[in-house]
Amino acid sequence: MDFGSILQILDSAVRFSTPLLLACLAGLWSERSGIFDIGLEGKMLIGAFAAGAFSAIATMPVYDGGWGWQTGGMWVGMVAAIIASILLALIHGVASITLRGNQLISGVAINFFAAGITVLLGASWFRQGGDTPQLPAGGRFRPIELPLSETLSDVPVFGPIYQNLISGHNLIIYFGFFAVLATYWVLFRTRYGLRLRAVGENPGAVDTAGISVVKLRYSAIIITGILCGIAGAYLSLGTSAPGFGRDMTAGRGFIALAALIFAKWRPVPAMWACLLFGLLEAISTKYQSIDLGFMVLPGQFMQALPYVMTVVILAGFVGKAIPPKAGGEPYVKER
């Protein structure tokens, strides 16, 4: 394998890992505050749909019922994705914080709801079997060439790395990595982060310190909604095949949860975990089958690998992962 194809695989690993990373960080915020969230998948899906649908509407010609925008349609899609995802997050919040319901059941319900409503609305609005139309260039996030990438391309090793791996991604991908640092910084360097981590471990301590448990948890859930919305928007606005396709999240919300556990609810390890999953997906896409010399691994095996990894990780083969102690338990003042 030459240097070029290694770079190519790493490059697509970064692309594949971005939606996972955003969803994983989304889950991190919620679960660090003590609200388990298996509804990441559903929020991503509705985000992807809202992004695809509204970007399509914004860029559609006026005579087709659209707004006829030439550029900037993706921003409409992004805002719609974030709003839709926040709305689902708030439903989860009302169920699990205010009404003290079961967080797993609420999460499952959100996943089912998203899977259903996206296809229903998509089929009714666009009549393409639940998909949204292909988006024109003005309706999606395009790759950004970082400065000097052409000039530096002749520098050995660094040049190609800079040009292929670091430069040439779209805004959401850069945002994903920025979000890792931001999450780390807020969680471990600010007052808000301290309180948020405390409420996930012992809400009683937060309550007796005179801070509202409910407000803190809602704020965390809204951040989860925002990040899930962006993750969904990436799927329909930021890839080479832009537009929403039914069930396009394909279990990424669950893989993100596995990565979160793998990373033990810490932001930087979460990034590495998501990159690992992204790498597996990149390899399976590039090589349909792998010849090991003595046997050939079929393509289906490679495609299944991220999911197999998810199961392995969730089954606890990667050492003990201790979740936030108050996670999953509604907070009730003791009688």
Partner 1 sequence: MTVTENPGQPNAAAPTPPAIELIGISKAFGPVQANKDITMTVAKGAIHGIVGENGAGKSTLMSILYGFYKADSGRVKINGVETEITDSHAAIAAGIGMVHQHFMLVDTFTVLENVILGAEDGPMLKPSLAKARKELQRLANEYELDVDPDAIVGEISVGFQQRVEILKALYRQAEILILDEPTGVLTPAEADHLFRILKNLKEQGKTIVLITHKLREIMDVTDTVSVMRRGEMTATIETATTSPSKLAEAMVGRSVIMEVEKAPATVGETVMEIKNLVVKDGQGVERLKNISFSLKRGEVLGIAGVAGNGQTELLEVLGGIRPATSGEVIMKGDSIDLTIKANAQKRRHRGIGHVPEDRHARGLVMSFKTWENTALGYHNEPEFSKKFGMANQKAMLADAQGKMERFDIRPPNPQLVASSFSGGNQQKIVLAREIERNPEVLLIGQPTRGVDIGAIEFIHQQIVKLRDAGKAILLISVELDEIQALSDRILVMFDGIIQGERLPENTDKNELGLLMAGVDPEAEA
Question: Do 45 and 261 touch, CB atoms closer than 8 A?
Answer: no
Q: Environment class of residue 335 by beta-carbon count within 10 Å: exposed (0-12), middle (13-18) or buried (19+)?
A: exposed
Q: Rounded to the nearest whole angstrom, what is the least distance from the CB of residue 178 to partner 1 in the complex? A: 20
Q: Which is nearer to partner 1, 155 or 182 (CB)?
A: 182
Q: Rounded to the nearest whole angstrom, what is the least distance from the CB of residue 325 to partner 1 in the complex? A: 7
Q: Which is nearer to partner 1, 208 or 288 (CB)?
A: 208
- List residues binding partner 1 (CB under 8 A): 188-195, 197-198, 201-202, 204-211, 325, 333, 335
Angle at which helix 3-32 crosses helix 267-286, to 10 degrees, equals 140
Q: Which is nearer to partner 1, 92 or 195 (CB)?
A: 195
CB environment 142-178: b (16+ within 10 A), e (fewer): eeeeeeebeebeeeeeebbbbbbbebebbbbbebbee
Q: Is 296 helix (H, G, I), strand (E, B) or coil?
A: strand
Residue among 194, 221, 202, 210 at smallest CA distance from 26: 221
Residue among 318, 225, 173 at smallest CA distance from 27: 225
Q: Rounded to the nearest whole angstrom, what is the least distance from the CB of residue 260 to partner 1 in the complex? A: 17
Task: Give the Cα separation of 290 and 109 in Å (integer).
Answer: 39
Q: Which amino acid is at 315?
A: A
Q: Which is nearer to partner 1, 52 or 324 (CB)?
A: 324
Task: Give the Cα separation of 24 and 3 in Å (integer).
Answer: 30
Tokens 């994705």 found at: 81
Start-to-end Cα distance in the chain: 66
Q: Rounded to the nearest whole angstrom, what is the least distance from the CB of residue 205 to partner 1 in the complex? A: 4
Q: Which is nearer to partner 1, 127 or 325 (CB)?
A: 325
Q: Rounded to the nearest whole angstrom, what is the least distance from the CB of residue 335 to partner 1 in the complex? A: 6
Q: Which is nearer to partner 1, 166 or 211 (CB)?
A: 211
Q: Is 265 helix (H, G, I), strand (E, B) or coil?
A: coil
Tokens encoding 235: 């799927």
Q: Rounded to the nearest whole angstrom, what is the least distance from the CB of residue 106 to partner 1 in the complex? A: 23
Q: Which is nearer to partner 1, 86 or 198 (CB)?
A: 198
Q: Rounded to the nearest whole angstrom, what is the least distance from the CB of residue 330 to partner 1 in the complex? A: 18
